[in-house]
Amino acid sequence: MVDNIPFKEIVDFALGGGWGTDIPTVDSIPVAVIRGTDFSQVEKIQTEEVPRRWENAKRANKRLLKDGDLLLEISGGSSVKGQSTGRSLLITQEILDAFKEAVIPASFCRLIRVRSSVILPQYASYALQDMHRSGRAAFYENQSTGISNFQFKVFLDRECVRVPSLHEQASLVAVLRALDDKIAVNNRLASTADELCSLLLESRMKAKPSQFDLVPLSQTAKFINGRAFTKDATSSGRMVVRIAELNNGPGFSTVYNEIEVPEKYLARAGDVLFSWSGSLTVKRWFRSEAIVNQHIFKVIPNDGMPMWLVYQLVARKIKEFQAIAADKATTMGHIQRRHLDDPVDVPGVETLTELDSRIRPLWNRSLLAEQENLKLAELRDTLLPRLMSGEIRVKDAEKTVEEAT
């Protein structure tokens, strides 16, 4: 019989984050800082334009991250309780190598170092993930002046974890890691395929510009603006896609509605969605059928325009659109309809036919990888609590994972 024990009994060392100072001194060193975005991009750490701070060398030394360290989010923005804190991140050597320099956690999280003689860091990481995905993290969250705070001391005392033998822990980690590794491979595959799509279009444009015509973006597709479908939501039915869901997928505050809406407001796998307000971005939707909310365009290609092309055309304009939105003297920057009339380079008929034969398969393969990841993540999230609680045996889970991968 394996007993559950409080987290405080497996934690060897815990420390709050720190930003340091922007003013370099003789005894200071530049350190990269883990950000909140990194918690939502576990499979793809965001290392581009990593923020760096000057930190006193002596102070930074004990805050430098090591392979196997855990970061637990303890502070978040104003949001629905249970949504904005409690996420965790396992620091691996791969992450440390990606940052290339010393790393310290930011002030919104706690650094946790577990007793490796009792519990594997990877196992502890899955225990924290189970806490967050199950919603138990909400028990340790409160609101202070509109900011969500995770009560770390209460968590240490009350959150319990089942700690079997190190051998059993390693076996359990291997099962879940197989799914996470496959998800990571699919993410890289999708990312690489999308980059190739962009490079193929870009290289042809540069090599043979005469094969392209300047055409208003608005003439390549219909830009259907979503509506306020969160009103009178029923909490069941199809997901209502807001900017948050478009960027990060469904969360604790995601709205669902059984309302019937016209076809033009429905997003299906393979559709292109473009948020024109707030955080402007363009995405390929790969989830189940959903309803497009306001501030998001459903981009419907005109005849002769493949989906991958309109996605690329919007993506090539996105930085320009973001700059326009940033100049707006409002709380939420945006573009206007007239900006969709800006010209874009569109390949001629013969060139488009040739490019389509090469790019469409890449587009479809990327979409397939994203859809496969939905099933893998669902399986992982189903197995996670059952394995952590000991409800199912590792051998049974191994068989299920083998069939899925």
d(CA 208, CA 343): 18
Averaged over 231-258, what is the pLDDT? 90
The whole model's pTM is what?
A: 0.87
Number of H helices, E strands in the chain: 10, 22
d(CA 161, CA 5): 5
Averaged over 211-230, what is the pLDDT? 96
Domain with CATH 3.90.220.20 in the chain: 4-163, 213-346
Averaged over 152-181, what is the pLDDT? 95
Give the model's pLDDT for residue 156. Answer: 94
Which residues, at least 6 apart from 174, have a Cβ–Cβ distance to it below 8 Å? none
CATH classification number, 4-163, choose in 3.30.1490.20, 2.60.120.10, 3.90.220.20, 3.40.50.12780? 3.90.220.20
Model confidence at 94, pLDDT cuts 50, 70, 90, reads: confident
Q: Which residue in 369, 375, 405 sits closest to 174, CA to CA?
A: 405
Give the model's pLDDT for residue 270. Answer: 97
pLDDT digits 0-9 by tens, 54-93: 777 777 777 788 999 999 988 875 444 445 688 899 999 9
Give the model's pLDDT for residue 17. Answer: 60
Averaged over 237-260, what is the pLDDT? 91
Give the model's pLDDT for residue 8. Answer: 94
The secondary structure of residue 31, as a DSSP letter, is E
Give the model's pLDDT for residue 43. Answer: 47
d(CA 54, CA 405): 45
213-346, superfamily in CATH?
DNA methylase specificity domains (3.90.220.20)
Place of tokens 């290392």: 47
Higher model confidence: residue 268 or residue 24? 268
Give the model's pLDDT for residue 279. Answer: 81
**Residue 383 in 3-state DSSP?**
helix
Model confidence at 328, pLDDT cuts 50, 70, 90, reads: low
Averaged over 107-136, what is the pLDDT? 93
**Cα four-point dihedral sign 374, 376, 377, 381:** positive
Averaged over 305-327, what is the pLDDT? 93
**Residue 283 in 3-state DSSP?**
strand
What separation, in Å, do the N-terminal and C-terminal C-alpha atoms of the chain show? 32
Averaged over 342-366, what is the pLDDT? 97
d(CA 47, CA 50): 5
pLDDT digits 0-9 by tens, 2-32: 678 999 999 998 887 655 455 566 677 778 8
Give the model's pLDDT for residue 228. Answer: 93
Averaged over 393-398, what is the pLDDT? 91
Q: Are 79 and 253 in contact (CB under 8 A)?
A: yes
φ and ψ at residue 99, rounded to 5 degrees:
-75, -25
pLDDT at 297 over 60: yes
Q: Which residue in 161, 228, 184, 235 sits closest to 3, CA to CA?
A: 161
Q: Which one of 26-35, 233-242, 352-361 scores highest in mean pLDDT?
A: 352-361
The mean pLDDT of the chain is 88
